[in-house]
Amino acid sequence: AQSVTQLGSHVSVSEGALVLLRCNYSSSVPPYLFWYVQYPNQGLQLLLKYTTGATLVKGINGFEAEFKKSETSFHLTKPSAHMSDAAEYFCAVSDRTGGGNKLTFGTGTQLKVEL
Amino acid sequence: DVKVTQSSRYLVKRTGEKVFLECVQDMDHENMFWYRQDPGLGLRLIYFSYDVKMKEKGDIPEGYSVSREKKERFSLILESASTNQTSMYLCASSFLAGQNQPQHFGDGTRLSIL
């Protein structure tokens, strides 16, 4: 069975600082990986996804993530945090062998951006 | 843009009531999903559907049922609501083809059972 671990339920950074949100996955086969963002009182919005090919994936709002098979990781980064980045972020994995495009989500990381 | 619409943003019901949560998508997606979101637990899959009149249990189906009579509409039913079903409920949809299809989410229904 696949699973996702997000280290740190709460992360706080200063405006302009590097954002690093960690995600490790467990899957018996190479997975598809996703990062979603949830702003207050809204649903989840897709930030980026890794399917095949280039391991560095660029997403919306200046975010990117790197797939590292050897480390089973898919950490999310942004060089310079903005106040508008404050939100909850979810990593998710889709098992290529499964049916119906089911996703398994991590428990989320709440990002706080301080002045 | 894909639009997934959930019928209510906030809902308050009483214990024992039958509760219907409705979700409609406008992108002709085959897959539809219902999740429950609780603090510290992330999103947990309740039920999903590949096609009209088709449904499969997710990770936490107990106390819930679903209905999909039309491709664009997926309903979640709490047969007899209980206080432990107080939560945020999220609906999502996606294309069937390929495991790399992202899911598109509605804005959620925050349900309180008193």
Residue indicated by tokens 């936490």: B60
Q: Which residues of B touch A45 (CB under 8 A)?
A: 105
Distance from C-alpha of B8 to C-alpha of A95, rounded to nearest angstrom = 32
**Residue at token pair 């467990």:** A26
Q: How confident is the model at residue B100 (pLDDT cuts 50, 70, 90)?
A: confident
Q: Is the pLDDT of residue A41 over 90?
A: no
Q: Rounded distance, CA A1 to CA A24, Å?
A: 14
- pLDDT of amino acid A102: 82
pLDDT of residue A99: 57
* Chain A residue whose CA is closest to B30: A100
Mean pLDDT of chain B, nearest integer: 93
Interchain contact, B50 vs A100, CB within 8 Å: yes
The CA-atom distances, in angstroms, between A24 and each of A27, A44, A90, B93 are 10, 20, 12, 25
- For the stretch A56-104, pLDDT in tens is 999 999 999 999 989 999 999 999 999 999 999 999 998 655 555 788 8
- Give the mean model confidence (pLDDT) for residues B65-93: 96
Q: A67, A75 in Cβ contact below 8 A?
A: no
Confidence band, pLDDT 50/70/90 cuts, at residue B53: confident
Dihedral sign computed on CA atoms, order A40, A4, A93, A100? negative
Contact B30, B104 (CB under 8 A): no
CA distance B41 to B59: 13
From chain A residues 70-109, the ones with a CB under 8 A of any chain B CB are 90, 94-96, 98-103, 105-108
Supply the pLDDT for residue B98.
66
- Report residue A62: phi and psi, to 5°: 80, 5
Please report, rounded to a whole number, the percentage of residues in chain A having pLDDT higher than 90.
71
